[in-house]
């Protein structure tokens, strides 16, 4: 599933292509015909991301709300010589103007919502490290009063918004925290360290479109190893590296299911936290 940095990149890209101008909206697939009709011909006033949610305000047309889910994707292309090709495949929503077009496919959510519905959506989400208005204290309060494992809490979008399985696994490794450490055992300085680390890692993700989490000493070049071969890309410590050796201590990376999602960790590097008394 796309993580928060992907939605922030999308918000930036949609604004660059259509911001401040009127946009044509259609639903070639037909499933979003009514919603596209509400957006069609209106000026795009702003785009934003809150965690894994993309929002675009169209003047007089409401808010376009998109959640990409597991397979959703919006591709944006330049319209060469003002020409836009016919849609290919199941395009839920097409946005276009004289210079660009964007096709949305496979999204879990694609809808038009009101100001009140947008505010309600945002109100139930935890703070997003990529937003300037985010308050890490809100997430800390929810974590500190919970007995659930920190590895589960980090994936709860009501606690922390935008963090998915990759960032969850990697930030816990970098913090040397066992993912099964109960939230109410976590120290505040540890939480602040993870928040600061997420902010740095996710900003890098927005800039590059990749999730790279390894330090300079652990890159393929520094270690003389082959680059990671994975559809998700990026150099990581533990995510989807089960059965392989840890880049730091050479222990075997482990995996297990936690709340329906695969969890990855190093049993030696991530001992901290689990055995503490609350």
Q: Which residues are identified as catalytic?
A: 2-3, 52, 261
Residue 68 CB partners (closer than 8 Å, separation 6+): 1, 2, 6, 7, 52, 54, 74, 106, 107, 108
Query: In this structure, are residues 42 and 48 in contact, taking their beta carbons and an 8 Å threshold?
Result: no
| Burial class of residue 233, CB neighbours in 10 A (0-12, 13-18, 19+) | middle
Integer Cα distance of 231 and 131 in angstroms: 28
Q: Report which of 119, 133, 107 is spatially closest to residue 52, judged by C-alpha positions.
A: 107
The encoded tokens of residue 118 equal 């947008």
Using CA atoms, how far residue 6 sits from 1, 20, 234, in Å, is 10, 22, 14
| Burial class of residue 36, CB neighbours in 10 A (0-12, 13-18, 19+) | buried
Q: Report which of 164, 24, 163, 167 is spatially closest to residue 97, judged by C-alpha positions.
A: 24
Using CA atoms, how far residue 253 sits from 129, 191, 198, 225, in Å, is 27, 23, 22, 17
């Amino acid at each position: 599933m796309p993580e928060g940095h992907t939605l922030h990149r999308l918000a930036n890209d949609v604004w660059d292509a259509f911001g401040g101008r009127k946009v044509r909206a259609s639903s070639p697939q037909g499933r979003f015909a009514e919603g596209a009709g509400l957006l069609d011909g209106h000026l795009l006033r702003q785009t934003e991301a809150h965690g894994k949610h993309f929002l675009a305000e169209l003047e007089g047309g409401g808010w376009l709300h998109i959640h990409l889910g597991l397979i959703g994707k919006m591709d944006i292309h330049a319209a060469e010589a003002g020409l836009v090709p016919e849609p290919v495949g199941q395009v839920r929503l097409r946005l276009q103007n004289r210079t660009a077009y964007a096709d949305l496919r496979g999204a879990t959510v694609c809808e038009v919502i009101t100001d009140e519905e947008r505010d309600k959506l945002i109100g139930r989400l935890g703070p997003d490290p990529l937003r300037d208005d985010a308050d890490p204290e809100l997430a800390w309060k929810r974590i500190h009063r919970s007995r659930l494992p920190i590895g589960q809490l980090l994936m709860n979008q009501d606690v922390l918004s935008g963090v998915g399985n990759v960032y969850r696994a990697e930030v816990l490794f970098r913090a040397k925290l066992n993912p099964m450490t109960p939230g109410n055992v976590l120290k505040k300085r540890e939480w602040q360290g993870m928040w600061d680390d997420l902010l740095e890692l996710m900003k890098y993700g927005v800039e590059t479109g990749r999730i790279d989490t390894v330090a300079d000493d652990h890159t393929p070049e520094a270690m003389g190893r082959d680059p990671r071969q994975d559809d998700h890309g990026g150099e990581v410590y533990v995510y989807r590296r089960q059965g392989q050796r840890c880049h730091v201590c050479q222990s075997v990376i482990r995996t297990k299911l936690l709340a329906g999602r695969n969890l990855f960790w190093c049993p030696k590097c991530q001992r901290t936290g689990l055995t503490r008394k609350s």
